[in-house]
Structure 1
Amino acid sequence: MAAQQHSAAEENKRHKHEGPKKHIIAFIFSILLTIIAFAMVAAGEVNTTFIYIMLVVMALIQVFIQMGFWMHMKDRGHVFPIVGILGGVFVVFTIVIMASYWAWW
């Protein structure tokens, strides 16, 4: 009986439900990043290089928010999906860089 109670406590600890609070905060933050990006582009008076850099930075922040809160990559036990995603990012960047070099020469 003690073993069943112990395993039930571990099961509850492992599958603890976070609730919607963090998801709502992440959603609001994602919406704010999107609004800021649209406003920067719509303004048109800002340096285009600065806009490109800021759009890439905000996109990267958006990716980490999406992966951390919606895809739950911040939780334990997601090593293989993270390695797969990083491997895919490495392959895509390699392809883009090699295609750029190929087009230049």
Structure 2
Amino acid sequence: MTTDQQTPQGGVKHRYRHEGPQKHIVVFIFSIVLTLIAFAAVAAGGVNASFAVILLLVMAVLQVFVQMGYWMHLKDKGHMLPILFMIGGFFVAGTCIIMSLYWVWWD
């Protein structure tokens, strides 16, 4: 559904699309499913530990993209600067983690 905003002169100022709750419900269900998969992988005792860790990491990355894209609205126009700052933060944090691991295990 598109909605027009009227200017005082009667013209159309902006046109935007109203998103509605349908996408939010689908994304919420997807988030719950990701959480249940991660919980089931840990709760099931017969799962290989390395497979469970890899599965948890994949579920966590998917959850981050879902949360940032839909709940923080980073998929919308005009959010490039916050995205760039987050990418820079991930780069700095990743560099610190890699260097600290290198420092700890360096012989």
**Amino acid corresponding to residue 48 of structure 1 in structure 2:** A
Percent of aligned positions that are identical: 57
Corresponding residue of 2:3: none
In structure 2, the partner of 1:21 is 22
Classify the secondary structure of the residue corresponding to 1:12: strand
For 2:36, the equivalent position in structure 1 comes to 35
Name the CA distance, whole Å, in 2 between partners of 1:97 and 1:84: 20
Number of aligned residue pairs: give it.
99
Q: CA deviation at 1:17?
A: 2.2
* Larger fraction in strand: 2
1:6 aligns with 2:12: yes
TM-score (norm 2): 0.86
The unaligned stretches of length 5 or more in structure 2 are 1-6
1:34 aligned partner, one-letter code: T
- Please identify which structure carries the higher helix content: 1
* Counterpart AA for 1:20: P
Q: In structure 2, what residue type is equivalent to 1:12?
A: R
RMSD: 1.5
- 1:60 aligns to what? 61
